[in-house]
């Protein structure tokens, strides 16, 4: 629970914070129900707790995904990813920067095949 609270305070955007809260919620519920299963012993309560854990195991990540999807479709879009790297040059951009036309580039490619 402490790591989820730290994640909510430290992460920069909505999606990171939501991921932190979702993972913490699922893990905490799993651990609490596991402890209750150990305390219940072999009984009907063990089966019921197992079914609850299975239900939580599938619905909690699904709810987090639905929340993230609805945020993505609304105004909370992810910012564009910017890396410091430049785009690699392709043959067409190299030819264009050298002043060659596409005809001379095609002719050069034909010469290399022969």
Per residue in 67-87, pLDDT (tens digit) is: 989 988 888 777 777 776 655
Q: What is the pTM of this model?
A: 0.60
Cβ contacts of 32 within 8 Å, gap of 6 or more? none
Give 106's pLDDT tier (boundaries 50, 70, 90): very low
For residues 87, 88, 91, 92, the Cα torsion angle rounded to the nearest 10 degrees is 0
DSSP letter assigned to residue 86: P
Angle at which helix 14-40 crosses helix 2-10, to 10 degrees, equals 180
Tell me the mean pLDDT in the region 16-37. 91
* Residue 39 scores a pLDDT above 90: yes
Percent of the chain with pLDDT over 90: 32
Q: What is the mean pLDDT of the chain?
A: 78
């Amino acid at each position: 629970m402490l790591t989820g609270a730290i994640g909510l305070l430290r992460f920069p955007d909505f999606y990171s914070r939501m991921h932190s809260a979702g993972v913490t919620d699922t893990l905490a519920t799993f651990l609490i129900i596991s402890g209750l299963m150990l305390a219940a012993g072999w009984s009907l309560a063990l089966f019921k707790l197992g079914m609850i854990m299975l239900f939580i195991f599938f619905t909690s990540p699904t709810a987090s995904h639905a929340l993230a999807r609805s945020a993505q479709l609304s105004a909370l879009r992810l910012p564009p990813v910017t890396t410091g790297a430049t785009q690699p040059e392709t043959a067409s951009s190299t030819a264009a920067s050298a002043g060659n036309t596409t005809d001379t580039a095609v002719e050069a490619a034909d010469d290399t095949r022969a």
